[in-house]
A = this chain, B = another copy of it.
Amino acid sequence: MTRKTIDDVAALAGVSIKTVSRVLNDEPSVRADTRRRVEEAMAALNYQPSLHARSLAGRRSSLVGLVYDNPSANYVFAVQSGAIARCRESKLRLFIQSCDGLDDRLIGEVLAMVDQTHVDGLVVTPPLSSNAELLEALRRRRLPFVLIAPDVPVAGAPSVVMDDRAAAREMTEYLLGLGHRHIGVIAGHPDHGSSRLREAGWRDALLAHGEQAGPDLVAQGYNTAASGREAAHALLAAAERPTALFACNDDMAAGAILAAHELGLVLPDQLSIAGFDDTELAGLIWPPLTTIHQPVYDMAYRATELLVQLVRGEEAPATTRLDHRLVVRASTGPPRSRLE
């Protein structure tokens, strides 16, 4: 059993291969009954057109690239899921390129992938979406691409973002509303654009309420649980201990909770801890984590949708902002002093 080609279908349907091609590509000017005959022949032969032949002959590959660099498993998985879902709707295929450990060969590898596979466009996730050099190289290639959560907007490339700063401010205001006055922040990885925004949101809220936001309330983290734990220990060692900690992502919040447990602190009575992202993890730790829901799946879905538009030659909005949501769980509560 040799593989079926367009010639087999054409022969069986009694038409030329070009007509089969037309049916395949949903082109007009094919009579309804001809179309039906062709479709029946395709079904009867279980015909599957060759991606490679189509890509070589035509200009498009029906392939969308997704590039990422070492963010967390949950993030990558959510992004992939969203992008795959949208691709399926348009009969596209997702081609995934991990840049993990590529370091300075990164740009070359991404471009090699782009050139070899002829992807029609690219979805770029953070932190690559803030890599100016990469983006510039993509632009020079005139390859359509969409950014997820870039640091700053890039001309000509639509972005899908959420309002990190407003969300962080919201979270901090929620903590202030509970009665906290000393709210420490565990900052995110300095190379990630969102880190600055989230820290800024925390500062916004404190200053708006006339509270201090001094350096003793800030500890640098690196988006990992280990760094969160360390940062939390540092913050909690201060003379005037914060009664609440806002970690700029859930992993660091989990690390902070570990630190709290190590110090024998009862959560949330003696210490409130909040995170950011609402990963799966947030609901699995104890106490369940108050956090900001970041709609990663939806952002990836939307980004892919925008890319589809670009590939078709349609316009796409420069910035698409999706809503976040404050998710209150059990890791936060009023400070003990107010209870006593």
Contact = CB atoms under 8 A, between A and B. Distances in A.
The listed residue with most B CB atoms (<10 A of its CB), out of A53, A112, A284, A287, is: A284
A111 B283 CA distance: 37
A74 to B, nearest CB: 5
A316 to B, nearest CB: 25
A116 B80 contact: no
A251 to B, nearest CB: 7
Contacts of A254: 284-285
Nearest to A330: B261
Interface stretch (A44-52, A179-187, A206-214, A238-246): A44-52
Contacts of A74: 73-74
A308 interface: no
Counting chain A residues whose Cβ lies within 8 A of the other chain, the interface size class is: 35 or more
A98 B73 contact: no
Interface of A: 3, 48-53, 55-56, 61, 73-74, 76-78, 80-81, 84, 93-96, 98, 100, 111-113, 115-118, 225, 251, 254-255, 257-258, 261, 280-281, 283-288
A116 B146 CA distance: 26
Task: Among A53, A73, A80, A287, find the residue whose CB has the most chain B CB atoms closer than 10 A.
Answer: A73
A245 to B, nearest CB: 15
Nearest to A285: B285
B73 A280 contact: yes
A70 to B, nearest CB: 10
This protein's copies in its complex = 2
Contact of A286 (B51, B115, B118, B257): B257
A80 B52 contact: no
Contacts of A94: 96
Contacts of A84: 98, 100
Contact of A80 (B51, B96, B118, B280): B96
A74 B75 CA distance: 10
B98 A95 contact: no
Contacts of A73: 73-74, 76-78, 280
A93 B94 CA distance: 12
B286 A284 contact: no
Nearest to A228: B284
Contacts of A81: 98, 100
Given A73-B73, A225-B283, A50 B98 contact: no
A93 B281 CA distance: 31
A85 to B, nearest CB: 8
Contacts of A52: 51-53, 55-56, 61, 117-118
A48 B116 contact: yes
Nearest to A49: B116
Given A258-B288, A281-B284, 20 more contacts: A3-B115, A48-B112, A48-B116, A50-B56, A51-B117, A52-B52, A52-B53, A52-B55, A52-B118, A53-B56, A73-B74, A73-B76, A76-B77, A77-B77, A80-B98, A81-B98, A95-B95, A255-B284, A257-B286, A258-B286
